[in-house]
Structure 1
Amino acid sequence: MTDPATFGARLRAYRERAGKTRPVLGGLVGRSAEWVKALENGRLLPPRLPMLIRLAEVLDISDLADLTGDQSLPVASVTRAGHPDVDTVAAAMQRAAAPAGDLKQSDVLRGLVDQAWSLWHRSSVERSAVAAVLPGLLGDAQRSARRLDGQARRAALVELARVYHLAQLYLAHQPYPELVWLAADRAMRAAQDADDPSAIAVAAWYYAHVYRSSNQIDLAEHLLVDAAAMVDPAAGREQLARWGQVQLGIALGHSKAGRAGQAWRAWDAAEQAASRLGDRYAHPWLMFGPAACTAYGVTIETDLCRPGEAIRRADTADYSLLPSRTRRAAALIDAARAHLLDRGEVAAIHLLGRALRESVDTVRHNPYARTAALELSSRPGTVGEDARELGLAIGVQG
């Protein structure tokens, strides 16, 4: 068994490296500051595997051995589920040059990219749906961006950035984290080569995701603030939507860093932009709109370790207004996260089940959903039974 004192010293070192206080770390894993203190002082034995994994995720630890001192267990082996087609998509991403093929004009390419985004949002197995078209679409977009000239080339570069955004979403939480970074970087480069501020703003939104996932919160904020300055929210609905999306990204960074006031100021700016677009507005592929702002409000309160407020927001949310199965599933997972922070295990497992009905792939590849199913599977009664069923459906067994 791991020495509690040694484990506690490691936990404290990693907590301090991550810049998290005991109350923040405890809140993020559903425990108290006193519980964290007892672990660090060696007064409690190290927790069971599901909680160890959750601690490792929050502290950006890739191998549990770094925390426990025991045999190696990559956190990704539990939290990252490889899609059956991931190697095919990865090979397409790793190509040095586009394969030979017919040239697609920019308007034709735009239609193909729109169709791929529609597959992503409307399918309950979105990764399987886009995996069938993504490798070919990457080649089409790369060829068009290389072979077209002038304005047509700029338009093709904008579409190439959109394809890389889709690739980033597909590759997220899978065994190729370096390709997530590559997709974000290539998308930004394509948007910059197109010299299109709107495309750069969206590329910043997606790049900020990978910065936040590696706890580079300030880099994410700087990128988004610069992007927001490039977009004029008074220049039409499209510009307003993209500006609002960037504000949401700024809010998510502040909430992850525990800066409540700054998070809600940025969220307010996003919500005001969304309200100007109309109560039922949703961007056709970014999905920005009032419903998205409501969902991210739950995320922000949960990240700030205020589960009561998060639950209140979640209870008033109309998820049917999100015209995307994967976004609805992600929002339901965040609502489940809030309930579990509040010890509401029955509500959490119910919401995870609802999320699974919206999108199998979203739940299967969501690290929080996987660790929650693993942790709750040990509970007695209905919660444990439902968690074990959920675990079987998403490939996690306790």
Structure 2
Amino acid sequence: MRGMTNTLTIGERVAWYRRRRGMSQDVLAGLVGRTVDWLSKVENDRIELDRLSVIKNLADALDVALGDLIAEPSLMEWVADSGTKTIPRLSAALMDYRLITPVSSPSPIAEMPSLVSLAQEVDELWQAYQASRFGYVTTLLPETLSRCQTAVEAYDSDDQVQARRLLAFTYQLAATQMTKIGEVELAWIAADRGLAAARITGDPVAIGSLLRSVAHALLAAGRFREAMQLIQDTASYLDPHLSDPSPELLAVHGTLFLTGSMAAARANDTDTTRTFLKAADESAQRIGQDANHVWTAFGPTNVAIHRVATAGELGNVQVAMDLGPRIDTSALPMERRVRHALEVARAYSSWNRTDDALSTLLAAERIGPEQVRYHFLSRQLVLTWIKRQKGRPSSTLADLAHRLKVLD
């Protein structure tokens, strides 16, 4: 089903796979510890299925990937600043055999890249990602990866360490970008390559940052418990460096626990979610204000929006409704603002405040159309609203559905 159509809700996909497996509703409901009535309502879109912990349980019972049920897009849309060479080109760069085999000849170095210009190039790509320009980032990443690799081969001593650091952060961006658009396998390759480069530098900021990307790849694959354990192991690795930390290390440390809080929430582990959020908040208080060290957008506001996101994952709609609409995200990068807006829209929808949810989603689309298009929450919210309509959907809702490619 993945890649065939985006016009089915998650509930309809559950029903499709259940029938393909030859399962009755009784059997599937029993496997996930639910009633037949609950499953019937899920499959008929009378219960909104938006918690990844629940969706993952259904995917496991049906023996399919999480992405199969949430309909991760398999097509990156061409946009004005992306061109027509996107995911396949980046995939080819990540799977270049010459990067992993000792018997291949080194790439010829036509021109030694300037580390200053290379650092600026990597920073500009990260800023483009934070501005939700996903197509643009995906298109330019292969060339930047190539230049970083060339720099690693061209320089030695301290300059080579800096080149490896830039290579690590470029791979991290590739992993982050691929996770965002549902390309889990490519995200894993990029995170692995980036971590290998970071470990050689011995820099705890780079290593901690890349380990967080590995955790994100685990999250995207639905391996929530493994992601939680990785967060704990990484925190233990970073602990000796926190006696007199730089703001960059504090940001990496805090963002690491925010990732852990999402993993714990998706694993339905309320206590660990709270523990991780508390640890993140302590790092945010040590920094003292919102900042964007190492492209983390980390600070008190990012902690607050994760309180909303984890509440949504845990089904605590009251908490999400009480806190979500009141958080001012205007000073954060676009990617963070849009992601929070999706959580607020989910909370409104859960309270049957569909008009408010739609308004929130439309406002998010105006500032970050690519991000809204690729996130499963926006697609599933719109599909659910349309299929619950007794008559024809409003022109506003129908137009949004067409833009998200969820309505034929």
**What TM-score does the superposition give when structure 1 sets the normalisation length?**
0.82
Q: What one-letter code is carried by the residue in structure 2 that aligns with 1:264?
A: R
Relative to 1, partners in 2 of residues 1:283 and 1:178: Cα closer, same or farther, differing over 3 Å? Answer: same
How big is the shift at 1:342?
2.8
Q: Report the Cα distance in structure 2 between the residues aligned to 1:215 and 1:78, rounded to whole angstroms.
A: 13
Matched, 1:58 2:55: yes
Q: What one-letter code is carried by the residue in structure 1 that aligns with 2:222?
A: N
Farther-moved stretch of structure 1 (173-182 vs 106-115): 173-182
Q: Is the 8 A contact 2:51 2:315 kept in 1?
A: no
How big is the shift at 1:52?
7.9
Q: Is the 8 A contact 1:187 1:203 kept in 2?
A: yes
Query: What is the percent sequence identity of the aligned residues?
Result: 22
Give the aligned partner of residue 170 of structure 1.
177
Q: Is the 8 A contact 1:191 1:203 kept in 2?
A: yes
Matched, 1:87 2:88: yes
Q: Report the Cα distance in structure 1 between the residues aligned to 2:58 and 2:156, rounded to whole angstroms.
A: 46
Relative to 1, partners in 2 of residues 1:48 and 1:65: Cα closer, same or farther, differing over 3 Å? Answer: farther
1:155 to 153, 162, 167: 162
Give the aligned partner of residue 28 of structure 1.
none
Give the aligned partner of residue 212 of structure 1.
219
Q: What one-letter code is carried by the residue in structure 2 that aligns with 1:225?
A: Q
Give the aligned partner of residue 277 of structure 1.
287
Matched, 1:241 2:251: yes
Give the aligned partner of residue 340 of structure 1.
349
- List aligned pairs for 1:269-348, cutoff 5 A: 269-283=279-293, 285-322=295-332, 324-348=333-357
Relative to 1, partners in 2 of residues 1:254 and 1:185: Cα closer, same or farther, differing over 3 Å? Answer: same
Root-mean-square deviation (CA, aligned residues, Å) is 3.2
1:375 to 384, 387, 390: 384
Give the aligned partner of residue 27 of structure 2.
9
Give the aligned partner of residue 352 of structure 1.
361
Q: Report the Cα distance in structure 2 between the residues aligned to 1:276 and 1:237, rounded to whole angstroms.
A: 9
Q: What one-letter code is carried by the residue in structure 1 that aligns with 2:28?
A: R
Structure 2, unaligned runs of 5 or more: 1-14, 79-85, 100-106
Give the aligned partner of residue 268 of structure 1.
278
Q: Is the 8 A contact 1:81 1:365 kept in 2?
A: no
Give the aligned partner of residue 32 of structure 1.
none
| Aligned partner of residue 321 in structure 1, secondary structure | coil
Q: Is the 8 A contact 1:83 1:174 kept in 2?
A: no
Relative to 1, partners in 2 of residues 1:273 and 1:156: Cα closer, same or farther, differing over 3 Å? Answer: same
**What TM-score does the superposition give when structure 2 sets the normalisation length?**
0.80
Relative to 1, partners in 2 of residues 1:65 and 1:217: Cα closer, same or farther, differing over 3 Å? Answer: closer
Q: Is the 8 A contact 2:261 2:277 kept in 1?
A: yes
Q: Is the 8 A contact 1:326 1:358 kept in 2?
A: no
- State how many pairs are aligned: 369
Q: Is the 8 A contact 1:50 1:374 kept in 2?
A: no
Q: What one-letter code is carried by the residue in structure 2 that aligns with 1:182?
A: I
How big is the shift at 1:332?
0.7
Relative to 1, partners in 2 of residues 1:221 and 1:146: Cα closer, same or farther, differing over 3 Å? Answer: farther
Q: Is the 8 A contact 1:62 1:76 kept in 2?
A: no
Q: Report the Cα distance in structure 2 between the residues aligned to 1:373 and 1:37, rounded to whole angstroms.
A: 26
Structure 1, unaligned runs of 5 or more: 16-20, 23-35, 68-72
Q: Report the Cα distance in structure 1 between the residues aligned to 2:322 and 2:308, rounded to whole angstroms.
A: 9
Relative to 1, partners in 2 of residues 1:253 and 1:64: Cα closer, same or farther, differing over 3 Å? Answer: closer
